[in-house]
Structure 1
Amino acid sequence: MSRTLPVVAIVGRPNVGKSTLFNRLVGKKLALVDDRPGVTRDRREGDAHLLGVDFKVIDTAGFEDEDPQSLPGRMRAQTEAAVREADVALFLIDARAGLVPLDEEIGRWLRAEDTPVVLAVNKAEGRAGEQGAIEAMALGFGEPILLSAEHGEGVADLFTALLPYIDRPDDEPEVDVDEEEEARSGPLKLAIVGRPNAGKSTLVNRILGEDRMITGPEAGITRDSIAIDMDWQGRPVRLIDTAGMRKRANVTDKLEKLSVADARRAVDFAEVVVLLLDATRGLEAQDLKIADAVLQEGRALIIALNKWDVAENASSLFNGVRAALEEGLAQVKGLPVLTVSAVTGKGIDTLIKVAFETREAWSRRVPTGELNRWFEAAMERNPPPAPGGKRIKPRYLTQVKTRPPSFVLFGTRVDLLPESYRRYLVNGIRRDLGFGAVPVRLTVRAPKNPFDR
C-alpha cells in the first residue's frame, strides 16, 4: 500500500519562475517553461524526493485579478483549489522586480486561507535579490528564502523551511512486488489525445467528476500534459490530458511546438491511448496521422467519438469513420470505436472498461507451446512462398516481450519473406491468440550462410 504524500503548492503571479522551480524540485523538465508570462494554465503535479523525504509538488498558473469567467479567471480558480488541498503553499516572488501590487493581493488571499505559507524570493542569485528580499518582509510571512530556481541556489534552505510541513513518519513497510505483475495490476496509464477543441479536457473532468482541467470555447487551452491519479470501480487509473495536435505545417508558435512535443511524450508514457474525435466534424487526415503515430510507438489505441449527443446522421457517421479507419490504418484492423459524450457522461464507463481490456491484451504473453501449435497450423493453411525458386523454411516463432507484444521468427531465408506474408502472420496472431487490435511487432532472424561469399 502506498501512503498519501504531503503536498506543496507553488503559487505566485505570472513569470516569477514557478515552473522552473517545479522542474528543479521534481528533478525533471516536466513543466513547459518560456520567457513569456502565462505559460502554465492547468495545475501540474510531480513527485519530489529530497534528503530522504518524499512529497508531491503542484505547479499552478500565475495568479491574476481577472473576471472569473475569463480564461485567466478560470486559471485562478484552479490555483485556489490547489492551495486548499495542499499541506503548505510555497509563495514565490521575483527578487529583481521587487514587491508589486499583485504580490500584495496574493499575500492577502493566502492570509485568509488555512494553508500554511512559506515565502521564497526567486532570481536572487548574486546580490540581485537583496532589495526584493527586504521588500518581501512587508508581506507578513516572516523572513523569505532566497533562491535561484534556474541555477539551484538556495534549494537546501527552501527544503529546510518546508520540512516541518512535509516530513511524516513512514509507518508502512515497503512491499516487494513482482515487476511484471505490478505493471499489469498497477494504474492504467490512459492518455487522451486529439485535435484542438475535440473535448479532451471536458472528458477528463467528466471522468474525474470535478472541474480539474480548465475548459472553454477557446482552442488550445491545455498546454502541459497533465497526469491525474484516480480510481475507477476500485481500480487505479492514471489519466493524462494532453494538448491538441494540429497539422505540423500550422504549428509555428514556439510554445505550441513545446506543447505538442509534450503530448507526444505523454503517448510514450501511456499504455492505452484514446484518440478523441469531434463527432460534429468526423474523421480528418490529421486524426489518422495521430493514430498512426500512436501505433508506431507500440501503444494500444482506442477511437472515441465525442459530442455524440449532438451528432447528426449518427449511424452513417459511425460507419463512415469505421470504414475510413480500416482503409487509413491498414496495419491494424478492428480498432475499438466507441461513442461518448463528455457533457452528459454517456459511454464513459464503457470507455474505461474497454481500456482495461485493451491493456490486458497489450500485456498478454502466449505460452511457447500454444504459440508454436498455432504457427504450425498457420503454415499448413498458407505455406510461405519460394521467391526466385528458393525455398523459405520457417522453423519456430517465439514471443520475446510484451507491452507491445513482440515476436521473432527463426528459420532459413526468413529474411526473404514478403511483406504480405508477414502481415498474414501478424493478423493471424492478433485474431487467433487474443491480441485483438493492439499493435503486434514481428521481426525475422535467419542464420548466416557461411558459403554466401
Structure 2
Amino acid sequence: MKPQVIIIGRPNVGKSTLFNRLVGKKLALVDDQPGVTRDRRMGDATLAGLEFTVIDTAGWEDEDPETLPGRMRKQTEVSVEGADAALFVIDARAGVTPLDEEIARWLRTQDVPVVAVANKAEGRAGDAGLFEAFALGFGEPVALSAEHGEGVADLFDALWPLIGAAEAEREAAERAGEEADAEETEQGPLKLAIVGRPNAGKSTLINRMLGEDRLLTGPEAGITRDSIAVDWSWTDLTTGEDRPIRLIDTAGMRKRAQVVDKLERMSVADAKRAVDFAEVVVLLLDATRGLEHQDLKIAAHVIEEGRALMVAINKWDIAENASSLFNGIKAALEDGLSQVKGLPVFAVSARTGKGIDQMLKAAFELREAWSKRVPTAALNRWFDDALEANPPPAPKGKRIKLRYITQAGTRPPRFVVFGTRLDMLPASYERYLVNSIRAALGFEGVPVRVVLKSPKNPFSKA
C-alpha cells in the first residue's frame, strides 16, 4: 500500500483545492461556500516522484456529534487513525482562528506526524497568518497557494522525511521478498525501440530478430512511416530463458531542415512518440557512414526524454577499418553526449545476425539499471563517502551544506539532494555527484536526474 496523507482543517480553507492540485485532476467539487465536501475522497497523488494516497476530508466543525457536521467530523477523526501523515490546512489570509487552535490541540493527541500548511499565501496578504501558524506547534509551516500551485516544492520537502524514506524501504523489502516473480510481473515485456536516420537498416534488423520478413524493407530510404510494434519472445542462449520483447520500428529521422513533406513530418513525430513509449532505445548507425551530427541529435532527444539508450553500429560485415571506426564512434559519443557516460555500443549486422544476442542481453541489463531503486540507508552511506572524498567548495567563504539525499523515482532514476546555499553549488560539483552515482551505485549508461532543494526562509522578502 502507498502511504496515506490526510488533509484536515476547518471549512473553506482550500482543502479540496489542495486535493485536486495533488492528484492533478478536478476530482473534488470546489466552491466558495463552506461545507461542499462531506465524504472522504481518496486519490493517487504524485509529488516530485513521491507517490502516496491523499485523502480529502470534510471541514472540521465544533458541532453536536449527532448532527450532520458532527458526523462529518467523526469521519475525519476515523480517517486520521490510519494515516501516515496529516496536512493541517489553515487560511493564511484569515490567520489562526480559535477553531484552528482546537483542531491543533486535537491533532497533538493523535499518533500521526503533522505538517502545518498555510494556504492562500500568495502575495503579501498571507504573511501575518503564516507567522501565526508557527504557534500551532507543528514546526515551520508550508506557505502554499493550492489554487496557483505555489509552494508545492516546499510541501515535498516537508512530506519526504515523514513518508518518503519509509516508502522507499518498504518497496525495497517487497522486492527482496518477491524477486523473480515480481520482476516478471512488474516489468513485463521489454519495450525496445529502434531509431536512427533513414536507411540505417532498422526494419531489416527487426526482421532478422524475428526470423521473418515482418516489415517492409528495401534500398529506398524512408520506407517505414508508421511506428510498428511487434511482440516477440527472445531466447537467451546463456540461460535458455524465453524473454518477452515488444519491438518498435520507427521512421528514419532526418535533419529538420530536410523534412518538408507533411507525411514525413508526421512520421518523425510518430517516431518521437515511440521513444516516449519505449523503455530502452537502440540508436542504429550505418557503419558505411559513421556517426553524424543528426545521430547525436537523435541520441540527445532520447536522453532528454529519460529513456535508456544504447548504440548499435549496423552493416558491420561490410565496414572498412572496423577497429578504428568502432573506437572513433565511442570517443565521439563520449564527447558529444557528456550528459550520459558509459553508453553501451555494439557492432551488429542485420544481414548476418552478428552481435544481436549480445545487444539484446545488454538491453535487459540496461532496463534493470534504469528501473533500479537504491535503499535510502545505502544511498546516504554513499553520499557521506562522496562528500568526505570531495567536500563541496565554499565560494566567497560561505559554506555549502549538503545534508542528505533521497531517490525520488526510477525510470529514469531521479535523486533529490537537500541542503543549504545550494544555489551557490558549482555545476562541476553537480556533475561530480551524478558521475559518482553512476559509477558507485550501478547506473552506468542511463540518464540520471539530480535536483537540489534548499529550505525556504519564511522571513525572506524574495
TM-score (norm 1): 0.60
Could you say if the C-alpha distance between residues 376 and 434 of structure 1 is closer, same or farther in structure 2, counting changes exceeding 3 Å?
Answer: same
Whole-angstrom CA distance in 1 between matches of 2:402 and 2:294: 39
Whole-angstrom CA distance in 1 between matches of 2:346 and 2:186: 24
What is the SS of the residue equivalent to 1:259? helix
What is the SS of the residue equivalent to 1:346? coil
Which residue of structure 2 aligns with residue 414 of structure 1?
422
Which residue of structure 1 aligns with residue 206 of structure 2?
204
Whole-angstrom CA distance in 2 between matches of 1:416 and 1:451: 20
Which residue of structure 1 aligns with residue 369 of structure 2?
361
Deviations 1:50-69 (A, max 9, x none): xxxxxxxxxxxxxxxxxxxx
Whole-angstrom CA distance in 1 between matches of 2:272 and 2:382: 36
Whole-angstrom CA distance in 1 between matches of 2:182 and 2:245: 17
Whole-angstrom CA distance in 2 between matches of 1:183 and 1:395: 36
Q: Is the 8 A contact 1:189 1:240 kept in 2?
A: yes
What is the SS of the residue equivalent to 1:359? helix
What is the SS of the residue equivalent to 1:222? coil
Deviations 1:204-243 (A, max 9, x none): 0001111000000010000000000000111110000000
Which residue of structure 2 aligns with residue 267 of structure 1?
275
Q: Counterpart amino acid of 1:425?
A: L
Could you say if the C-alpha distance between residues 191 and 374 of structure 1 is closer, same or farther in structure 2, counting changes exceeding 3 Å?
Answer: same
Which residue of structure 1 aligns with residue 441 of structure 2?
433
| 1:390, distance to aligned residue in structure 2 (A) | 1.8
1:337 aligns with one of 345, 348, 351: 345
Whole-angstrom CA distance in 2 between matches of 1:417 and 1:266: 36
| 1:385, distance to aligned residue in structure 2 (A) | 1.3
What is the SS of the residue equivalent to 2:443? coil
Which residue of structure 1 aligns with residue 401 of structure 2?
393
Whole-angstrom CA distance in 2 between matches of 1:399 and 1:179: 24
Q: Counterpart amino acid of 1:340?
A: V
Deviations 1:347-387 (A, max 9, x none): 01011100000000000000111100000000011111122
Q: Counterpart amino acid of 2:265?
A: K
Q: Is the 8 A contact 1:184 1:363 kept in 2?
A: no
Deviations 1:75-123 (A, max 9, x none): xxxxxxxxxxxxxxxxxxxxxxxxxxxxxxxxxxxxxxxxxxxxxxxxx
Q: Structure 1: which 4+ aligned runs deviate by more than 2 Å?
A: 178-185, 450-453
Q: Is the 8 A contact 1:362 1:402 kept in 2?
A: yes
Q: Does the alignment pair 1:186 with 2:188?
A: yes
Whole-angstrom CA distance in 1 between matches of 2:445 and 2:231: 26
Whole-angstrom CA distance in 2 between matches of 1:258 and 1:422: 38
Q: Does the alignment pair 1:294 with 2:296?
A: no
Q: Which runs of 5+ in 1 are unaligned?
A: 1-177
1:292-331 matched pairs, under 5 angstroms: 292-331=300-339
What is the SS of the residue equivalent to 1:391? coil
Which residue of structure 2 aligns with residue 195 of structure 1?
197
| 1:451, distance to aligned residue in structure 2 (A) | 3.8
Whole-angstrom CA distance in 2 between matches of 1:183 and 1:438: 23
Note the aligned Cα RMSD (angstroms).
Answer: 1.7
| 1:336, distance to aligned residue in structure 2 (A) | 0.5
| 1:180, distance to aligned residue in structure 2 (A) | 7.7
Deviations 1:287-325 (A, max 9, x none): 000000000000000000000000000011001101100
Whole-angstrom CA distance in 1 between matches of 2:277 and 2:426: 33
TM-score (norm 2): 0.59
| 1:283, distance to aligned residue in structure 2 (A) | 0.2
1:16-95 matched pairs, under 5 angstroms: none
1:98-247 matched pairs, under 5 angstroms: 181=183, 184-233=186-235, 234-247=242-255
Whole-angstrom CA distance in 2 between matches of 1:434 and 1:327: 22
Whole-angstrom CA distance in 2 between matches of 1:261 and 1:418: 36
